[in-house]
Amino acid sequence: MTRRIEHSCVTTEIDDEGIAWVTFNRPEKRNAMSPQLHYDMEAVMMEIETDESVRVTVLTGAGDSWSAGMDLREYFRETDNDPTAQFRSFTANKHWSWEILSMSRKPTVAMVNGYCFGGAFIPLCACDIAITAEDAVFGLSEINWGILPGGIVSKVIQDFLAQRDAIFYAMTGRTFDGTKAVEMKLANIAVPRERLEEETRALARELMEKNPVVLGYTKQAVKAVRTMDVEMAYEYLRAKSLALRFADTEDTRGRGMEEFLDNKTYRPGFEPVGKKS
Ligand code: ACO
């Protein structure tokens, strides 16, 4: 049975397959991220992260927006002269949209259903996988109204885009669509808007066929080595691999070898080893 969690700016539905559909829910403000939305997301992400029934997290937006970025009124102007309020909302933002989301133990999917501007690039890039409507509109609009891509936006666009694209789009503020976002490797898959949910569900099901512990360790390892040198990456991956053997109580590795080498019942090159009976 689907479980629904309501916050004032975020709605979460955890369906019986284990997919948590997290929806930024301020469609009248194009899901701009207000301080309250950050507090809600912080609570939601902690809840999802510690709920064993959740296997995949999908982030999307209500209406025709994924998110129009930071709320210019509530996140910026209203707290311009209030360092305490700024600290609270900035820290909540950093906590959920980068620290928790980018290193979540569960697979995370950005399902971009429309506008995605400015600060929304942070959760977009923190998600493991991005699937977008072909006609979604992306933009680094900061330049248009007198700020630079802050938070960690300048950093994530340098990390995710080619330098030429990062600088070009930050300087011009030109928008681009979902098809272009895939071409630029900012998103993985672009589909017609009417197929967005169905394709996301298919992707989530594919991820749920893998062993969840192995999947969590894999994504964390691939992300963590990015800033390591080769020697450190070797050491880290060896230690992480040993830790995985301990953490994976289903011994997926051992069963995989047995089924391939001894029983000859499956081919690991093409399919995940079956669940432990
Ligand atoms: N912050 C605060 N309010 C916003 C934001 C935002 N980022 N985006 C939209 N809204 C509000 C509008 O003020 C308006 O509120 P109102 O009804 O009380 O007047 C409502 O959402 C609807 O906005 P419209 O502009 O009327 O909607 P439209 O569909 O025509 O355009 C669009 C949508 C293109 C997203 C437009 O609202 C826009 O350009 N928003 C700003 C996008 C942006 O630059 N984001 C980056 C912010 S900076 C950062 O993230 C670091």
CA 75 to ligand 1 center in whole angstroms:
13
Residue having the nearest C-alpha atom to atom 4 of ligand 1: 29
| Dist. CA 200–CA 266, nearest whole Å | 27
| Dist. CA 197–CA 191, nearest whole Å | 10
Kindly state the tokens that stand for 5: 């969690």
Q: Give the pLDDT score at 1.
A: 85
Taking the CA of residue 69 as reference, the ligand 1 atom at the shortest distance is 50
| Dist. CA 65–CA 41, nearest whole Å | 17
Q: In CATH, what number does 3-208 get?
A: 3.90.226.10
CA 273 to ligand 1 center in whole angstroms:
47
Residue having the nearest C-alpha atom to atom 18 of ligand 1: 29
| Dist. CA 223–CA 165, nearest whole Å | 22
Q: What angle (nearest 5°) sits at the alpha carbon of residue 130, between those of residues 55 and 57?
A: 20
Q: Which residues contact 65 (CB under 8 A, 6 or more apart)?
A: 24, 27, 30, 31, 113, 114, 115, 116
Q: Which amino acid, residue 11?
A: T
Q: Look up the pTM and report it.
A: 0.96
Give backbone dihedrals phi and psi of 109, rounded to 5 degrees, phi first.
-125, 125
Mutate which of 24, 26, 29 for ligand 1 pocket (most atoms within 8 A of beta carbon): 29
CA 32 to ligand 1 center in whole angstroms:
7
Taking the CA of residue 144 as reference, the ligand 1 atom at the shortest distance is 44
Residue 124: count of CB within 10 angstroms of its CB: 25
SS3 labels along 84-111: HHHHHHHHHHHHHHHHHHHCCCCCEEEE
| Dist. CA 42–CA 165, nearest whole Å | 31
CA 50 to ligand 1 center in whole angstroms:
33
Q: Give the pLDDT score at 275.
A: 73
Residue having the nearest C-alpha atom to atom 10 of ligand 1: 29
Tens digits of pLDDT across the chain (277 residues): 899 999 999 999 999 999 999 999 999 999 999 999 999 999 999 999 999 999 999 999 999 999 999 999 999 999 999 999 999 999 999 999 999 999 999 999 999 999 999 999 999 999 999 999 999 999 999 999 999 999 999 999 999 999 999 999 999 999 999 999 999 999 999 999 999 999 999 999 999 999 999 999 999 999 999 999 999 999 999 999 999 999 999 999 999 999 999 999 888 899 888 777 6
Mutate which of 9, 28, 66, 72 for ligand 1 pocket (most atoms within 8 A of beta carbon): 72
Q: Which amino acid, residue 274?
A: G
| Dist. CA 22–CA 48, nearest whole Å | 10
Q: Which residues contact 262 (CB under 8 A, 6 or more apart)?
A: none
Q: What lines the ligand 1 site, CB under 6 Å?
A: 29-30, 32, 68-73, 115, 117-119, 141-142
